[in-house]
Structure 1
Amino acid sequence: MSEELKEPKNRAPLPNFSHLVYDLFEKLDTCVKSPHIPESLRSRKTKIIEQFVQKWRFEIGDNIYPASRLIFPNLDKRHYNIKDFTLIKFILDIFQVPKDSEDTKILRNWKGKYENRMRSNKNDLAQLLTGVIKARRGAVLDRPEISIDRLNELLDTMTRPETKPSDQKKILTEIFNHVDNIELKWFLRILLKRKLMGGMDFTFFRQWHPDAVELLQLVNDLKTVFWELTDRLIPLPEAGRVIRVGRAFRPQLAMRPNRTYDQIATLFDNNFYIEDKLDGERILMHISLNDTTQQHEFKYFSRSGTDYTYLYGSNYEEGAFSPFIKGCFIDLKDDTKEIRSMVLDGEFLVYDNKRNVILPFGALKSASLTRLMEEKNDSEDSQETQVYFVVYDLVFLNGTSFQDKALKVRRNLLNKILANPIPNRIEVIKYTEGHVGSDIEAAMRSAIHDNREGIVVKNPKSKYYIASRNLNWVKIKPEYLEEFGENIDLIILGKRKGLKNAYICGLRESLGNDRYRFLSLARIANGFTGQMYEEIEHSLGSKWVNIRKTQPPYPYIDLGEISSMVDYWVDPKESVVLEIKARSIDIGDGGKRYAAGTTLYNAYCVRIRSDKDFLSCSTFADYKEIKTSKSRHKTEKTHSLMSKRKRTIVTEPILAKQSVSSKSSIFKDYIFYVLSDMLGEKRYSIAQLEALLVENGGRITKNDCVALADGERLVLLSDKITFKVTEYFNKGLNVFRPGFILKCLQLKTIIPLQINDILLADESLIEKVKKNSDRFGDSYTSPIDRKELRMLMKGIPKIKLEHPLKFPLLYNLFKGLKFYIARPCYRSPFLTNVMSPYLLEVIVILGGFLTTDIFQCSFIIVDTSTTFNYSWLTEEATIQDEVGSLRKKLGDDLPIVKGVLDKVPRIVEKEWVFKCIQEGTIVAADGYNYIG
């Protein structure tokens, strides 16, 4: 499957490793922004790379591949079989660091102590290890240097399966004896497969050859790029600009358009294919015929170029997948040729044979490894789960690239070749033809009903675009409540240091004529792992500018009012892009402090976008379009609901409805004078309050001089101190808050007064009432609601803790979220405490609300730990039955808003709730979707 490459010859021997360190790595790392140098930082770094490349060509020759393996360790195919903690153990042993030393403690806990290490400027593990080694061996002044060739030779030895840990330790010892402390730092970064070029990777490739980036995206192989492109003046031939069997390339991706279903149909001239969007891993299967054995050989690459052949199998005899697909392909009968080479594009899934469902993406690797272990141990295949390949494109066949062929042609030929599909093992994706927007709507409703990821709409006339995302393939996923829609790529503009470092991220705004400015949008402090912190700080470590010493150039960088909470800023052209997910857009006062005018609510980092820079991050125009569509969606939602479901006009809150229906005589000895509406989250008008009082035995008056019978009392109610209220108080009448009567109705009795129930009263009554509560005003006998608790908390003096909390309290974690708890297919309020009472209490305590309306909830929570049998009430029911009925209802009744289906609630397992608590923020629900 591999092609023959001719190795170019150099004119001189390869230089020492120190040449890379001091002529490239260190120069780039120490090149910092300076107000005294007019040239931009990126231009100066480009010159450093240009000079390095020119010097190499002039002094060494045209073969830079051996050096590239060390310059780009993240792209090098070698696996050193050494993890972070294995490397730490080796170094502790080699340098005989005492087990009870402070260095040992720091190294063994380096991930958990990242934020504290940041304060000591120990930005990455390599630097941390270098510090420990330097402290024990001092400066290395006289040592034999190590060449690039010798270093590669030793690293190649480390990759061999037969190399034992003791051999690895010997190799490391030899290398340590041949590098100084600065070289050591860079070597350790190479060993840990870190990015070394600080976002200048593509610049290096382009300096070597103008077509190097294009070829890299086609083959994902350093050797091919640097051996084929040796002369800058000779362009890559057209024959080389196509897919190559056995070489990883980046596949075509689908876009997510901000269009209605009708507009999408028009985009494809009312002729399109509709496929299911699959929840698996994108895989490119490369097949070639071995001329010697006359057997097919396989390679499997992910969309990012990771080689998974070891997992899925290089032939029909090994792996978790290849042995099970023998006989599925047939030869081409029209020209009697056999399949000698082929590339298929598709998705690897995991199929559960017992439940007949496709499992979530995360189960793929574990299922594949399990199958691999069964094969090695010669055990019976349990067949509980199996790897399942769904093919949706043919891009190469028998030496011919099908990139320029129409999808319709590619699909027809694919069906001929895969004529013997094996159910739930390897099949061609099914599709339906669509012509109008209602076809897309019907497919989306079906996807929601069947718990599928969504749909992909494709243009049957389109060609295959390598490493491209365009409107010939359109993905449409259900819009989920409490999610921001598409993730947004923000660039880091600043940093706030603390126990938990936060990055100030922003958007690019184009000013025309290749001029830009950058606007702050959000403060991101959640979602980072220790390694992500390390990668960011390694890229930006020398580029941070202390804002107390030098202010960022305005308006080039506009931080807005939040500049006061920024400790450091960085030039966006040298910065890092983060992919951010958020619950919603915050248009309140807090958002106005950011330069963009709004901010993101509950935002967290999904990943670092190493493939993006300041020119490809999200723009202010993109953000405004998203913001406009979301607000329009919100505004028109109510009107759309009216067209699909009969709208319930709620004139009284639920508590009032329950009390009215009881028609009690709680207030039979009281006459009420209601002077104002009841204010707060649940607002009652004067008329509503009066109706409540009458239906529960009370009488109403509009006169403070009303005649009272024996045993009757006059009660004045108001939530506002008005002129009339003050006048009555001056007459000697006490005035109480209307909330008091609601608490009485809730408990179906007249309860003792609390301080918070009084608006205005004489001192003697206040003193009596104080005895009903503790020193903070909390009643000894009556329950309080959340609002009252908040008021009580305001009155409690703050106590300075001896050891401050590391993370904030989570009382408002679920604030504004509504939860529907899935239970069997009947409704009985008294069963609430039977099902997961702890789960319900946690949600409410942390600010969430419970609802029985699936069209108004944010999340549907499913407890998968128990199957419920309430046969004493109804026939046996299960959670699976309930969730199935909920999905059907959502799929059938979800309204159309602005030409697309309305947002739907996520259906998640209860573990999602506890993961949010663990992380202290609303985490992505993708990995917790209920699949039963």
Structure 2
Amino acid sequence: MANTHMRDAAAVDEERRMYSYGSLTETELDEKYPNRPHNHSVTPSFSILYTTLFNPLNDNRRKPTAPVARRKLGPHGASNLTPHEIRRNIIESFISRWRKEVGNDIYPAFRLVVPEKDRDRAMYGLKEKAIGKLLVKILRIDKDSQDGFNLLNWKLPGGQTHAAGDFAGRCYEVISKRPMRTEPGDMTIGEVNEKLDILSGMSKEVDQIKVFSEFYQRMNPDELIWLIRIILRQMKIGASERTFFDIWHPDADSLFNVSSSLRRVCWELYDPVIRLDEDTSGVTLMQCFQPQLAAFQMHSFEKMVQRMKPTEADDVFWIEEKLDGERMQLHMVEDESVLGGFRFNFWSRKAKDYTYLYGSGFEDDNSSLTRHIRDAFNPGVRNVILDGEMITWDVEQDAMVPFGTLKTAAISEQRNPFSGGQRPLYRVFDCLYLNDKALTLYTLRDRRKALESSISSIHRRIEIHSYIEGNSASSIEPALRRVVAEASEGLVIKNPRSPYRLNERNDDWIKVKPEYMSEFGEELDCVVIGGYYGSGHRGGNLASFLCGLRVDQNHVARGSNEQKCYSFFKVGGGFCAADYAEIRHRTDNKWIKWDPKKPPSDWIELGGGDKQYERPDVWIKPEDSIVVSVKAASVGTTDQFKMGLTLRFPRFKRLRPDKYWKDALSVMGFMQLKSNAEKQHKENEFQLDNERRKKRMTIKRPKKRPLQVLGANDEVSTPYAALSTKVFEGLSFFIMSESLAPEKKSKAELEDMVKVHGGSIVQTQTASRDVICISDREVLKARSIKKSADRSIIRPIWLFDCIKQAQADVGRPRYLIPYEEQHMYFSTHDDQAVVDSTTDEFGDSYARDVDLGELRGILAKFPKSEDKHQHAKAMEIVDHLEDHGLDLSDRFIFQGSVLYLDFGDGAAKTPEFTAAIDELQAVGRKARFVGGTLSNSLDESVTQVVVGRDRSHLHQLRQKVSQMSPIPKIVDAAWIIESYQERTLLDEDRFIAR
């Protein structure tokens, strides 16, 4: 910026007038943001960004990190800087020079430095292909020439110096051959922002060409390559927005998290000395914030209840149904300029504005919600912020519709508001702002009172979400049983004594969902022996069913009924309307009313003998009944069912019309499954104990041992039921505190865990310089180590990550995870250099697998695509995986399968044939997504041949594969589709193509 000349006041005013932000003029901005900073000079040349910031950061990112041990003193006695230090110096220098030479308003620069965080500028609607076409026309090159081909097919090999997939690099290759300028251009940062605002509002190619042409004429190739990256929002400069925010102001990242506003970060925090008030909630009317999130379920209900911080005087916690919709915040404020007197805004959890969908006011004729809820707000409410879940409600079925139909329902409601079909329903569970007062620091109990005093429910439009109170772990299971029976996702338990914590996932709110068992196989096939009538929208119909186990023939007394069954469990969750219809079709006129005085004991035995526990309303003979497949969380003892055992949280998976009652699971069959599961569990424990025993026998202890205090004894006293590894073999650990994350473990449990995996324990850090110090809290010993600053302190999460990766890499050489930022409680200078090189700019580890929670954080840092739905969709997919209990391991369902897609004869190129090909290609993409490999030829590597709708040459295909060795199975595409849906590799024999 040193070459930037100071402009007079008139020039500064002219730039402000010409290059305002978005649709607001300078005067309007001053009225809306009266305390915003003003620059004393015009913005510098755009070239300053790439010469002093982008290119230096990029060069630093590409430098290999030298081993810490090789760092030497520089020529002037100063040690060489680490990449992390260099990165911060580059950014600090840029920000410092901007403040000095331009002023305190850095918003014009940050809009270009972190464009993916600029929510004030609309999406451009331009992807690589579209930009390539614009450049071909502007440069007047033939699209079939080498350069034209490289631009339009940038993912294919063919570039000179830039690899396939680097679109901006390909653009540089082509533009640098025919530049309009070789020296840096004359466009200022302010001008670039003004032109980009114009470009974001364009949709016609002829208009876009005019803007791009001006960029081409006034910029050199180096500037243009960075401009294209800004438009694509794919900067990748080796520094995340968090780094820029932290250097700009210590509270910048926090403010962005609660406001989603780059403008507020730049204009409210321009002075690093002035800090945000610690009591400031961040909640502001008509300003989107990041909501509080629920923590994931812990190991037991008891532990979760403990996390609710009960007291002797108040041990209550709240239990709410977990809703399957989209988190939504509603803002309402008095506004006389709006018809109806009130203005609304709706934002999703991802800060997407949905006001256009749900309505901006009571008189909004294009609203799918607000025009129906005028009477919901009680008199005296001037403004309010509500937090809740937007769900889809089917009026005809009077039931919630599963996730994924919300936008369609809202659009349908906009067009036909009283159709009686599916509509949005807003379930409110929190009130965060009321009549000019933020309520986030108040307890949930007080906020609930504010909620109930401010709004009233309007049936199936806006409703206050209900809850029940519990005061012990035993309160949770019945509630979970009820919501599972109603096909719901689970529960959220909340601490009514807690404040609202913005953008946090803590133990004040905890999700509770049934985790389904796997030790007895994927599912259990049982026969239905009874039925229970439902209520509400299920009234008058059978809504849940009693299932039983067949009594084996050799256990049936001579002359007794061979169809006799013992009651085992009841199930009502997971059925859809089609399932109920199929059951009615197959069992119509076969149900018999249960007579308590004359129970059908020759057919069915219930728990409790004459007490007839879990007595159904109607019963059915097994030979007239159906078989259902179910999953469950676990098996527990009970006196409510004849088996003395029952399934906890059973959930219907599917009907088995292919199975007769005799094929259903029997008493002995189930007991055999149970025995095998217990045997396998004991074998796993034996292998673990045997491994420990071998290790103790093979270790040769020296005569003079270094000082090692192993606690009470050398043995692992706390059971540690996990696959043992040798990942810590030869290492010594000084563990100073318990672990707080990723799970709570005592100091003793951590020590046992380390010993199981080959490590040894000492009770002082002075035993050796190689001792690894572990702590998650500022205990006295940790404070002493930090004061001496001679060694790092590692968080226990590093132990968990090392073990997890070692268990995933069984059979490979031992591998310790390098330290990452999240692993460090305290870092020495040398260790910090290692930390800086172990993750990429988005926090993705180079050395270990990540889970869904970490993937969410990484995606949040990725540059968002110019396709405004793409990034949001990626986050929605992660939300959906998380909410439905899926994880990244499901990506390997088809691992090891080599699939050949058979598209049929193709003699007649009809529209039907083309559609069939498209369907099968989509199925193939789905298989690849979950680990399958697609083969272009039918060779001996193929394990399955997948066919679509065209079966005209199936006979010839069978003859062809019969000559192969081994012979692949010919399966219907439904095998892939259903396996994908069920998250497991289903048996191919069920899907053999006919």
What TM-score, normalized by structure 1, do the two folds share? Answer: 0.53
Show the counterpart of 1:402. 439
1:342-382, Cα deviation, whole Å (9 max, x unpaired)? 1111111122334333233222233334445x3xxxx6764
* Residue 185 (str. 1) matches residue 235 (str. 2): no
1:5–1:227: 8 Å Cα contact kept in structure 2?
no
CA distance in 2: counterparts of 1:445 and 1:812, whole angstroms = 42
1:93 deviates by 2.7
Report the secondary structure of 2:329's partner residue. Answer: strand
User: CA separation of 1:383/1:122 partners in 2, compared to 1, >3 Å: closer, same or farther?
Assistant: farther
Report the secondary structure of 1:264's partner residue. Answer: helix
Show the counterpart of 1:708. none
* Residue 913 (str. 1) matches residue 950 (str. 2): no
1:822-857, Cα deviation, whole Å (9 max, x unpaired)? xxxxxxxxxxxxxxxxxxxxxxx99999xxxxxxxx
CA distance in 2: counterparts of 1:21 and 1:463, whole angstroms = 45
User: CA separation of 1:354/1:201 partners in 2, compared to 1, >3 Å: closer, same or farther?
Assistant: same
Letter in 1 for 2:858: R
1:523-548, Cα deviation, whole Å (9 max, x unpaired)? 999xxxxxxxxxxxxxxxxxxxxxxx
Show the counterpart of 1:571. 837
User: CA separation of 1:249/1:595 partners in 2, compared to 1, >3 Å: closer, same or farther?
Assistant: closer
Report the secondary structure of 1:299's partner residue. Answer: strand
1:434 corresponds, among 467, 470, 488, to: 470
CA distance in 1: counterparts of 2:500 and 2:942, whole angstroms = 51
User: CA separation of 1:555/1:450 partners in 2, compared to 1, >3 Å: closer, same or farther?
Assistant: closer
* Residue 284 (str. 1) matches residue 329 (str. 2): yes
Report the secondary structure of 2:272's partner residue. Answer: coil
2:105 corresponds, among 46, 58, 63, to: 63
Letter in 1 for 2:838: P
Show the counterpart of 2:187. 146
For residues 516-531 of structure 1, the aligned pairs below 5 Å read: 519=802
Report the secondary structure of 1:288's partner residue. Answer: strand
2:365–2:371: 8 Å Cα contact kept in structure 1?
no
1:245 deviates by 0.8
* Residue 33 (str. 1) matches residue 64 (str. 2): yes
Show the counterpart of 2:318. 273
1:251–1:303: 8 Å Cα contact kept in structure 2?
yes
Show the counterpart of 1:444. 480
CA distance in 2: counterparts of 1:355 and 1:124, whole angstroms = 51
Show the counterpart of 1:888. none
Show the counterpart of 1:756. none
1:218–1:248: 8 Å Cα contact kept in structure 2?
yes
Show the counterpart of 1:533. none
2:389 corresponds, among 344, 347, 350, to: 347
1:359 corresponds, among 384, 398, 401, to: 401
1:451-508, Cα deviation, whole Å (9 max, x unpaired)? 211100001111111111110101012214579x9xxxxxxxxxxxxxxxxxxxxx99
User: How many corresponding residue pairs?
Assistant: 559
For residues 635-674 of structure 1, the aligned pairs below 5 Å read: none
1:542-589, Cα deviation, whole Å (9 max, x unpaired)? xxxxxxxxx99988479xxxxxxxxxx99314454459xxxxxxxxxx
Show the counterpart of 2:352. 306
Letter in 2 for 1:362: G
Show the counterpart of 2:293. 253
User: CA separation of 1:446/1:65 partners in 2, compared to 1, >3 Å: closer, same or farther?
Assistant: same
Letter in 2 for 1:285: L
Show the counterpart of 1:326. 373
1:22 corresponds, among 48, 51, 64, to: 51
Show the counterpart of 1:100. 144
CA distance in 2: counterparts of 1:524 and 1:170, whole angstroms = 58
CA distance in 2: counterparts of 1:524 and 1:319, whole angstroms = 55
Q: Which runs of 5+ in 1 are unaligned?
A: 333-337, 486-506, 526-550, 559-568, 580-593, 614-629, 631-800, 814-844, 850-860, 864-908, 925-932
User: CA separation of 1:299/1:144 partners in 2, compared to 1, >3 Å: closer, same or farther?
Assistant: same
1:216 deviates by 1.5
1:255 deviates by 0.5
Letter in 1 for 2:514: P
Report the secondary structure of 2:374's partner residue. Answer: coil
CA distance in 2: counterparts of 1:246 and 1:180, whole angstroms = 42
User: CA separation of 1:87/1:383 partners in 2, compared to 1, >3 Å: closer, same or farther?
Assistant: farther
1:409-464, Cα deviation, whole Å (9 max, x unpaired)? 11122122221x22222111111111222221112222222221110000111111
1:104 deviates by 5.3
For residues 160-179 of structure 1, the aligned pairs below 5 Å read: 160=201, 164-179=204-219
CA distance in 1: counterparts of 2:855 and 2:794, whole angstroms = 29
User: CA separation of 1:410/1:122 partners in 2, compared to 1, >3 Å: closer, same or farther?
Assistant: same
1:160 deviates by 3.2
2:267 corresponds, among 227, 244, 252, to: 227
What TM-score, normalized by structure 2, do the two folds share? Answer: 0.50
* Residue 159 (str. 1) matches residue 200 (str. 2): yes
1:91-133, Cα deviation, whole Å (9 max, x unpaired)? 333234434345555655657x69x999963444333443344
CA distance in 2: counterparts of 1:132 and 1:119, whole angstroms = 11
Show the counterpart of 1:683. none
1:43 deviates by 1.9
User: CA separation of 1:51/1:380 partners in 2, compared to 1, >3 Å: closer, same or farther?
Assistant: closer
1:19 deviates by 0.9
User: CA separation of 1:477/1:286 partners in 2, compared to 1, >3 Å: closer, same or farther?
Assistant: same
* Residue 126 (str. 1) matches residue 168 (str. 2): yes
CA distance in 2: counterparts of 1:399 and 1:205, whole angstroms = 29
CA distance in 1: counterparts of 2:514 and 2:146, whole angstroms = 52
1:215–1:241: 8 Å Cα contact kept in structure 2?
no
Show the counterpart of 2:923. none
Show the counterpart of 1:470. 506
CA distance in 1: counterparts of 2:149 and 2:39, whole angstroms = 47
Show the counterpart of 1:666. none
User: CA separation of 1:235/1:165 partners in 2, compared to 1, >3 Å: closer, same or farther?
Assistant: same
CA distance in 1: counterparts of 2:358 and 2:154, whole angstroms = 35
* Residue 424 (str. 1) matches residue 460 (str. 2): yes
1:155-194, Cα deviation, whole Å (9 max, x unpaired)? 1112336x64321221111112222222212111211123
1:280–1:347: 8 Å Cα contact kept in structure 2?
yes
1:291 deviates by 4.1
1:522–1:600: 8 Å Cα contact kept in structure 2?
no
CA distance in 1: counterparts of 2:256 and 2:938, whole angstroms = 49
**Segment of structure 1 superposing worse, 250-259 or 321-330:** 321-330
1:67–1:148: 8 Å Cα contact kept in structure 2?
yes
Q: How large is the Cα RMSD of the aligned pairs?
A: 4.7
User: CA separation of 1:556/1:143 partners in 2, compared to 1, >3 Å: closer, same or farther?
Assistant: closer
CA distance in 2: counterparts of 1:287 and 1:403, whole angstroms = 17
CA distance in 1: counterparts of 2:945 and 2:802, whole angstroms = 29
1:609 corresponds, among 858, 861, 867, to: 858
CA distance in 1: counterparts of 2:803 and 2:841, whole angstroms = 14
Identical aligned residues as a percent? 29
1:636-694, Cα deviation, whole Å (9 max, x unpaired)? xxxxxxxxxxxxxxxxxxxxxxxxxxxxxxxxxxxxxxxxxxxxxxxxxxxxxxxxxxx
Show the counterpart of 1:652. none
CA distance in 2: counterparts of 1:118 and 1:807, whole angstroms = 38
Letter in 2 for 1:409: D
1:323 deviates by 3.6
2:494–2:510: 8 Å Cα contact kept in structure 1?
yes
CA distance in 2: counterparts of 1:156 and 1:42, whole angstroms = 34
* Residue 6 (str. 1) matches residue 35 (str. 2): yes
* Residue 82 (str. 1) matches residue 113 (str. 2): no
* Residue 414 (str. 1) matches residue 465 (str. 2): no
